[in-house]
Amino acid sequence: MNSISNRCWYSDTIKDFLSRNSNEILGRLVSNNYFSLETSQRNAWEEEIEILKDTLAQYDGQIYYEFSVPRMGQRIDVVLLIQSVIFVLEFKVGEEDFKSYDIDQVVDYALDLKNFHETSHSLYIAPILIATKAKTSHSVVGFTPYDDKLLTPIRTSTDLLPQVISSVLKFSEDLKIDPQLWEKGRYHPSPNIVEAAMALYSGHNVAEISRSDASAINLTQTTDCVSEIIERSKSQNEKSICFVTGVPGAGKTLIGLNIATEHIDKESELYAVFLSGNGPLVAILREALARDKVHRAKSERKKIRKGDVAREVKMFIQNIHNFRDDRIADKDRPPIEHVAIFDEAQRAWNIEQTSSFMKRKKNIRDFSQSEPEFLISSMDRHKDWAVIVCLVGGGQEINTGEAGIGAWIEALNKSFPQWKIYVSPNLTDSEYNAQGLLERNKQNEKVEYKDELHLIVSMRSFRAEHVSLFVKNLLDRNLSEAKGVLTQVIGKYPIVLTRDVQKAREWLKSHARGSERYGIIVSSQAERLKPHSIFVKSPVDPVHWFLEGKNDTRSSYYLEDVATEFHVQGLELDWACVTWDADLRYSKKGWSHWSFRGDKWYHIIKAERQRYLINAYRVLLTRARQGMVIVVPAGDKDDHTRPPEFYDETFQYLLDIGIKEI
C-alpha cells in the first residue's frame, strides 16, 4: 500500500493523459473504483478530465487521480507533479462558493504529503480548491508562516486554473521533480487515535496507517508478538496475560485497536473486545466510528441508521466497568470473548476502591477483590483458553484508587498461578511501580520476557520523538537533562512560554493549519484561573470538544471550554495550550502540591495524591502532536489566592530549562 501506484486509481504522464481518449481514462477510474458508482461521481470525473485536458496542454509532468490518504480514510481528487511543484487539487463540481470546510480539506491533504511522505518533505506543495461554477477567485500565491514550502491554499474558478498553475510555477522555481524517485518515497503516516480507529475499523491495517522508520520499533512487530501469544494460547489450551508497555503516545492503544479489529468476527473463537476505563476515550471513539461509518455509507448511497451502527460499535469498544458489571450479574458463565484487551490497565482500581464502589453503587457488601483480580477471574471462567492484553502507560495513574500495574501482578501471584505472563524487560522501570513484585517472579517459569512488548518511541509527535523524555526530565527536576533534550525537540516541535492567555490563544490559531485541532488544557485542580476566563469546574462534553468543527462553540477550536487530564488522557491535540496554575509549584527544594478549597489553598500531604498531581501534568504536557504553548499566569498581588510568588518560580524554572517566552 505504500507504493504510489497502488495508492491511486489512475496515474499517467501528463503527455499520455492528454493523448488518451477521455472514455479510456474514465474506464480505468471506473474499473479501479471498488464502491458502487453513482452517476454524480461519473459525471464529476468526466468534467474534471475535460478541465485538466484544457489546463495542462502546455505542461509535462505526472498526474494521479483518486490518490489515497489512508490516515484520513479519504482520497485526493488529483495530484500533479509539474516542474518543481506538487499540486494538490480538490474539485467541487457545480459549486459557486469556497466553503471553509473544503479549504481545510485540501490543506489537510497537502499537509499529509508534507508531513508523512518522505520524498515530499522538501518540495513545494500547492493546495488548490476549484469551485467549477465560481464567479470569483482568490489566486494569491504565498507561503504559510512556517516557510516550509507549503503554499497558502488557493481558491480558484475553472477559468483561472491555468493562470494559477502558471503563477505557482513562477513563484516556486527549484529543481524539477523526478516522478520515479518521488513515487519510491515511503509513506509513514502518524494518525491521531481517532483517525487510527476509523482507519482500522474501515479495513486498513496498522502497517498502512503507522510510521515504520528505523528510529521507532515497528508497531507491526508488537502486534505480531501479541497475535502469536493469542494463537499459541489457543493451540495449547493456555491462559495468558501480556503487558504492552510504552512511553506516552507510543501507540499502545493503536496496538489494542488493531488486535481487536483483526478479531472482530463474533462467530470466531478468536473474537476480541477492546475495553477501557477511560470514559471520554470510549465515548469519543464510539461516536467517531459511528459518524464515519454513516458518512461512508451516505457517500456510497447506502441506507444505514446511526443507531444500528452505534450498537455495533458498542460491542467493539466497551467500557471496562460495563464489562465488569455484566460479569457480576452473570457470576458463572465466561464472557463471549476469549481475548480481552484492557486499555490503560494501570488505571484499574485497587481493592479498597473496588470494594467501596460495590458497596455504595451495587449494594454488594462483601466484595473482596481488586478490579484486576475480578477481571482476570472473569476470563479464567473459560474452560479451555483465554488471553488478556494489558496496555500499560507508565506514570499515568491520575485518580484515587488507580492501582497501577502492580495490582495485576499481585492478583496473578495470589489467585492465578497457572496463567502465563508475558512482559517486557522495561516493566521494571520505576514509572510502572512493579519492581518488587517482578523481582519475586524472577524464577517463575510462567513468566516470559519479550522485548517486542515495549514501545520506546512516542508516535504521537511525528515532529519530535523526545517530547515525553523532555517532560519526564522537566517533572523530575533534572534541569541539565531537560535542557539537553529540549535542544533535540525545539527545532521541529515548538514549545513556547507566556504569562498571557490571550497571547497563547493567538499563538495556537497562527500555528494550526487546515483542520489541525487545538485547545486549552488544564489540571483538574487549577481552580484559580477564573480571572483568565478559564473555569475548570464548568462541565465540558469531551465528544463535542474533540469532534466538532471550528464553528461549534462546544469544540476545542473555540478556546472557551477547557479540558482536564481526565478528558484528554489517551487522546491528542495537534497544538495545545497548557495553562499552569498554583496547584503545582516549583521551588529549589522540590515540587509543592496544593488543592484549592473554599477561599484558600491547602497543602497536599499524601504521597499518593502528590503522585496523581504530577501525573496530571505529565498527561497535559504530552498531549500535543505538533507543539505547545505553556501559560504560567503572572498572578495578582492584590489577590491572596494567586499572588505572583505562587507562579514566579515555576515560570523562571521553565525559562531556565530553555523554553522561550513569547
Mean pLDDT calculated for residue range 8-14:
94
160 and 132 in a single domain? The answer is yes
3-state secondary structure 149-188: CEECCEEECCCCHHHHHHHHHHHCCCCCCCHHHHHHCCEC
pLDDT score recorded for residue 1: 41
DSSP state, residue 448: E
pLDDT score recorded for residue 56: 96
Contacts 24+ apart (CB under 8 A), 144-151: 144/513, 145/510, 145/511, 146/513, 148/114, 149/114, 149/122, 149/123, 149/124, 149/125, 150/110, 150/111, 150/114, 150/125, 150/513, 151/124, 151/125, 151/126, 151/127
Question: Per-residue b/e over 212-241, b at no fewer than 16 CB within 10 Å?
Answer: beeebbbbeebbebbbebbeebbeeebbbb
pLDDT score recorded for residue 74: 85
Mean pLDDT calculated for residue range 88-97:
94
pLDDT score recorded for residue 433: 55
527 and 436 in a single domain? The answer is no
pLDDT score recorded for residue 216: 47
Question: Which cell numbers in the block locate residue 155?
Answer: 481558491
118 and 254 in a single domain? The answer is no
* 462 part of a folded domain: no
Grouping H, G, I as helix, E, B as strand and the rest as coil, residue 461 is coil
442 and 489 in a single domain? The answer is no
| pLDDT at residue 49 greater than cutoff 60 | yes
Give 293-318 pLDDT, tens digit per residue. 888 777 766 778 888 888 888 888 88
What gap in Å lies between CA 93 and CA 487, rounded to an integer? 47
DSSP state, residue 622: T
Could you tell me what percent of the chain has a pLDDT over 90? 57
609: CATH: 3.40.50
| pLDDT at residue 326 greater than cutoff 90 | no
> What confidence tier does 551 reach under pLDDT thresholds 50, 70, 90?
very high
Grouping H, G, I as helix, E, B as strand and the rest as coil, residue 334 is coil
Grouping H, G, I as helix, E, B as strand and the rest as coil, residue 347 is helix
> What confidence tier does 440 reach under pLDDT thresholds 50, 70, 90?
low
Domain final residue pick, 137, 156, 184: 184
180 and 200 in a single domain? The answer is no
633 and 553 in a single domain? The answer is yes
Give 593-638 pLDDT, tens digit per residue. 999 999 999 999 999 899 999 999 999 999 999 999 999 999 999 9
> What confidence tier does 429 reach under pLDDT thresholds 50, 70, 90?
low
β-bridge partners, 69? 74
> What confidence tier does 460 reach under pLDDT thresholds 50, 70, 90?
low
Mean pLDDT calculated for residue range 556-579:
95
> Which of these, 585, 519, 524, lies nearest to 554 by C-alpha position?
519
* 587 part of a folded domain: yes
The residue type found at 209 is I
Domain final residue pick, 455, 476, 491: 455
* 570 part of a folded domain: yes
Confirm if 68 and 108 have CB atoms less than 8 A apart.
no
Could you tell me what percent of the chain has a pLDDT over 70? 90
pLDDT score recorded for residue 277: 82
536 and 567 in a single domain? The answer is yes
> What confidence tier does 400 reach under pLDDT thresholds 50, 70, 90?
low
* 556 part of a folded domain: yes
> Which of these, 456, 543, 472, lies nearest to 252 by C-alpha position?
456
Spell out the residues 6+ positions from residue 308 whose beta carbon is closer than 8 angstroms to its own.
none
The overall average pLDDT reported for the chain is 88
Pairing of strands 124-131, 85-92: parallel
pLDDT score recorded for residue 215: 42
119 and 199 in a single domain? The answer is no
Question: Which cell numbers in the block locate residue 7?
Answer: 495508492
Q: Where is average pLDDT lowest: 250-254, 441-445, 503-507, 654-658?
A: 441-445
Confirm if 71 and 112 have CB atoms less than 8 A apart.
yes
381 and 500 in a single domain? The answer is no
Domain final residue pick, 399, 424, 455: 455
32 and 99 in a single domain? The answer is yes
For the entire predicted model, the pTM comes to 0.82
When divided into structural domains, the chain yields a total of: 3
The more confidently predicted of residues 496 and 259 is: 496
Mean pLDDT calculated for residue range 32-40:
75
| pLDDT at residue 81 greater than cutoff 50 | yes
131 and 231 in a single domain? The answer is no
The strands making up 518-522's β-sheet, listed across from edge to edge, are 518-522, 573-579, 624-631, 495-498, 660-661
435 and 544 in a single domain? The answer is no
- 382 φ, ψ (degrees, to nearest 5): -60, 135
Q: Write out the residue range of the structural domain in which residue 577 sits.
A: 467-661
Give 235-290 pLDDT, tens digit per residue. 999 999 999 988 767 788 888 888 888 877 767 777 888 998 888 999 999 999 99
Give 187-219 pLDDT, tens digit per residue. 877 778 888 888 888 777 666 666 555 444 567
* 461 part of a folded domain: no
The more confidently predicted of residues 630 and 332 is: 630
* 460 part of a folded domain: no
> Which of these, 112, 12, 128, 114, lies nearest to 70 by C-alpha position?
112
